[in-house]
């Protein structure tokens, strides 16, 4: 049985939204698909923004998700530069730019936005990186001869920006409040390996010390411009460019009062359903992953693609047909000439073992295990092994089985 | 059906290899190799999935 729907609206015209639209058509939905997004740009890919696009190695048109022909073929009611401003799921009414409209099915894919440093609004030279416009601004600053960059927060996007800036000859300081950088995602030991990679490329990485104040000086045109930061230990770092990579906030504000459960994202069931005829996907979605028996929100590229597709299918299915969305999370990050990939997850108390290659050469695969369970695999420049490990994680093999499998490598 | 990879775009992250190990292989030199560029129609579904999931949109199928 298929459900009768004539009009499906997708809010958020980015990765999850695009793949939701593509999947609806692929699965034979012939009704109206409205894709509403508040950015002016046609759907584009974010990962290059901190990497090749920032470095000037790819052009803007190469960022497009699906080429023009493909976008045309999807036959969408594409409404760019329009913002969803309200929602009422009981009456199935969405408000776009203040005007109410109805839907038969709704896909929420509004992603996330960057956290910002307090009292830096309007300060020249202070940036975050989420959108093409953000990347454009940082790229312009690089081209205009900025010499010293400070990256606040050692997260993955910040680390990629640092790597790109170092490669273009800038002096880069990275400041991380945690003692062990990257440890939230990679665990202490492997976080230090990544920290070492940055130090070996000349990044001045300060850990265990937060930023106390962003230092500014007045400009001739009347505004303020960043000149550095003072750290909580009193030291000052000068900079003419500051990039804050201190995490993101899911874009759910506009859904307040909609009747949806909003807790650090749109809360969904195991199938990505948030309310009758409403699904969510990508960075904004918090769903119950039955594989882990936990509710989670994942901020990775592959998750947005997979969940966008899954959520779209969910809308076309009855409750009986619906399948749980239970992926093993996976992401990659390119820093310098290294490809870092993590399949599964680390855990603070995990047993960490290097299974192949050498940590010192920054070319290896490490496994995370805990209490007999195989949790995750981290690779640097070992994509094949990481992907094989991802397969093992999907089969839920035990720690011993995973170790035995990897013993065959090399 | 012919499998094409734009090697200028490919970043050897081996996603396609996880989906269709009989067709794609990333070797220890970090390059992607196509093991079989004219697979039978029974592989169409997995190949379409590879096309979709390649983050670089490097794979295409030619009839
Ligand atoms: C610089 C950068 C580099 C990255 N690199 C990697 C990487 O190497 N590997 C990896 O796995 N992941 C990476 N990611 C993460 C990945 O890009 C995200 O997980 C992905 O973009 C999430 O897609 P999404 O569609 O859920 O949300 P988003 O891409 O955030 O898109 C949401 C869209 O909705 C719009 N929107 C928000 N509110 C409204 C509203 N009320 N009305 C209308 N539209 C609205 C937003 O403007 C945006 O266009 C990177 C992200 C960034 C920013
Ligand atoms: S998925 Fe795409 S980028 Fe990755 S190895 Fe395959 S072809 Fe290359």
For residue B49, the ligand closest to its alpha carbon is 2
Per-residue pLDDT, A1: 43
Which pair of tokens denotes residue A238? Answer: 């000068």
Q: Where in chain A is the domain with CATH 3.50.50.60?
A: 7-113+249-315, 116-246
Q: A2 CA to chain B: closest CA distance, Å?
A: 22
Provide, as residue numbers in chain B, all residues whose Cβ is less than 8 Å from the Cβ of A391.
Answer: 18
Task: Check pocket membership of A282 for ligand 1, CB cut-off 6 A.
Answer: yes
Which atom of ligand 1 is closest in space to residue A130's alpha carbon? 53
Q: B62 CA to chain A: closest CA distance, Å?
A: 15
Beta carbons of A267 and A151 less than 8 angstroms apart: no
Q: What is the DSSP letter of B43?
A: G
Q: Which CATH architecture has domain B2-62?
A: 2-Layer Sandwich (3.30)
Identify the three-state secondary structure at position A134.
helix
* CB < 8 Å & 24+ apart, contacts of A203-206: A203/A162, A203/A163, A203/A166, A203/A172, A203/A173, A203/A174, A204/A171, A204/A172, A204/A173, A204/A174, A204/A237, A205/A154, A205/A173, A205/A174, A205/A176, A205/A181, A206/A173, A206/A174, A206/A175, A206/A176, A206/A231, A206/A237
The answer to whether the Cβ–Cβ distance between A47 and B25 falls below 8 Å is: no
Q: How far apart are CA A368 and CA A296, in angstroms?
A: 19
For chain A (410 residues), the mean pLDDT of every run of 10, in chain order, is: 78 97 94 98 95 92 83 95 98 98 97 95 96 96 93 95 95 93 92 95 96 95 95 96 97 98 98 98 98 97 96 96 97 93 94 96 96 97 92 96 93
Rg over CA atoms, chain B: 10
Of the partner residues A19, A22, A391, the one whose CB lies closest to the CB of residue B18: A391
Residues A7-113+249-315: name the CATH superfamily. Answer: FAD/NAD(P)-binding domain (3.50.50.60)
**10 Å Cβ neighbour count for A306?**
22
For residue A253, the ligand closest to its alpha carbon is 1
Task: Check pocket membership of A329 for ligand 1, CB cut-off 6 A.
Answer: no
The answer to whether the Cβ–Cβ distance between A387 and B11 falls below 8 Å is: no
Task: Check pocket membership of A265 for ligand 1, CB cut-off 6 A.
Answer: no
> Which of B10, B17, B18, B53 should be substituted to probe chain A, the one whose Cβ sees the most A Cβ atoms within 10 Å?
B18
Average pLDDT over residues B1-30: 90
Provide, as residue numbers in chain A, all residues whose Cβ is less than 8 Å from the Cβ of B13.
Answer: 332, 339, 341, 383, 387
Pick from A9, A10, A14, A246 the residue to mutate for probing ligand 1's pocket: most ligand atoms within 8 Å of its CB. Answer: A14
Which atom of ligand 2 is closest in space to residue B53's alpha carbon? 1
CB-hemisphere CA count at 13 Å for A110? 22
**CA A67 / ligand 2 centre spacing (Å):** 18
A337 φ/ψ angles, rounded to the nearest 5 degrees: -100, 20
Residue nearest to atom 2 of ligand 2 (CA): B54
**A118 Cα distance to chain centroid:** 22
Of the partner residues A47, A384, A387, the one whose CB lies closest to the CB of residue B55: A47
Q: A283 CA to chain B: closest CA distance, Å?
A: 17
Give the start-end residues of each E strand in A232-269: 236-238, 241-244, 248-250, 266-267
Question: Of A237, A319, A242, A306, whose CA–CA distance to A273 is shortest?
Answer: A319
* Token pair 């894919």 in the structure block, residue: A109
Per-residue pLDDT, A88: 98
Of the partner residues A47, A302, A384, the one whose CB lies closest to the CB of residue B26: A384
Which atom of ligand 2 is closest in space to residue B56's alpha carbon? 3
Torsion of CA A144, A145, A147, A150, to 10 degrees: 10
Which atom of ligand 1 is closest in space to residue A12's alpha carbon? 34
Q: Which CATH architecture has domain A116-246?
A: 3-Layer(bba) Sandwich (3.50)
The answer to whether the Cβ–Cβ distance between B14 and A384 falls below 8 Å is: yes
β-bridge partners, A378: A342, A366
Provide, as residue numbers in chain A, all residues whose Cβ is less than 8 Å from the Cβ of B22.
Answer: none
Residues of chain B with pLDDT > 90: what percent?
A: 57
By DSSP bridging, strand A330-335 and strand A77-80 are: unpaired
By DSSP bridging, strand A273-275 and strand A241-244 are: unpaired
The model carries a pTM of 0.95
A374 φ/ψ angles, rounded to the nearest 5 degrees: -85, 120
Residues A337-406: name the CATH superfamily. Answer: FAD/NAD-linked reductase, C-terminal dimerisation domain (3.30.390.30)
Give the start-end residues of each E strand in A115-223: 126-127, 148-152, 171-176, 204-207, 211-218
Q: How far apart are CA A342 and CA A365, in angstroms?
A: 10
């Amino acid at each position: 049985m298929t459900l009768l729907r004539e009009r499906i609206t997708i809010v958020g015209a980015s990765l999850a939204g695009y793949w939701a639209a593509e999947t609806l058509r692929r699965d034979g939905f012939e009704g109206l698909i409205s894709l509403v997004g508040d950015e002016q740009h046609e759907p584009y890919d974010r990962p290059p923004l901190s990497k090749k696009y920032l470095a000037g190695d790819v052009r803007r048109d190469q960022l497009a998700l699906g080429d023009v022909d493909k976008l045309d073929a999807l036959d969408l009611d594409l409404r760019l530069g329009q913002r969803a401003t309200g929602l009422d799921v009981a009456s199935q009414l969405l408000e776009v730019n203040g005007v109410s409209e109805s839907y038969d099915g709704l896909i929420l894919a509004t992603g996330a936005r960057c956290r910002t440093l307090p009292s830096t609004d309007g300060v020249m030279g202070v940036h975050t990186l989420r959108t093409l416009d953000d990347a454009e601004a940082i790229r312009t600053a690089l081209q205009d001869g900025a010499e010293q960059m400070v990256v606040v927060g050692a997260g993955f996007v910040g680390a990629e920006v640092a790597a790109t800036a170092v490669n273009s000859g800038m002096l880069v300081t990275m400041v991380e409040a945690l003692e062990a950088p990257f440890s939230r995602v990679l665990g202490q030991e492997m976080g230090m390996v990544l920290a070492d990679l940055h130090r070996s490329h000349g990044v001045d990485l300060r850990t265990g010390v937060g930023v106390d104040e962003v230092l500014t000086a007045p400009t001739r045109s009347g505004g303020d411009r960043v000149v550095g930061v003072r750290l909580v230990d009193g030291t000052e770092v000068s900079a003419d460019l500051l990039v804050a990579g201190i995490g993101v906030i899911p874009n759910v504000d506009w859904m307040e009062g909609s009747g949806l459960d909003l807790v650090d994202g749109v809360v969904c069931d195991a199938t990505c359903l948030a309310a009758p005829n409403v699904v969510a996907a990508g960075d904004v979605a918090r769903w119950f992953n039955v594989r882990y028996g936990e509710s989670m929100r994942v901020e990775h590229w592959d998750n947005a693609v997979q969940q966008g597709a899954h959520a779209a299918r969910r809308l076309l299915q009855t409750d009986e047909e619906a399948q749980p969305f239970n992926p093993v999370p996976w992401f990659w990050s390119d820093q310098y000439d290294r490809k870092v990939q993590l399949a599964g997850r680390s855990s603070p108390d995990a047993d960490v073992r290097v299974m192949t290659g050498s940590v010192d050469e920054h070319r290896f695969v490490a496994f995370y295990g805990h209490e007999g369970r195989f949790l995750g695999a981290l690779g640097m420049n070992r994509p094949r092994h990481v992907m094989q490990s991802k397969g093992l994680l999907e089969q839920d093999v035990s720690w011993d089985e995973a170790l035995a499998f990897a013993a065959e490598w090399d | 059906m012919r499998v094409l990879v734009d090697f200028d775009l490919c970043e050897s992250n081996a996603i396609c290899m996880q989906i269709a190990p009989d067709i794609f292989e990333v070797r220890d030199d970090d390059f992607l190799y196509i093991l079989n560029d004219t697979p039978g129609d029974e592989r169409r579904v997995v190949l379409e999935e590879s096309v979709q999931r390649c983050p670089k949109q490097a794979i295409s199928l030619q009839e």
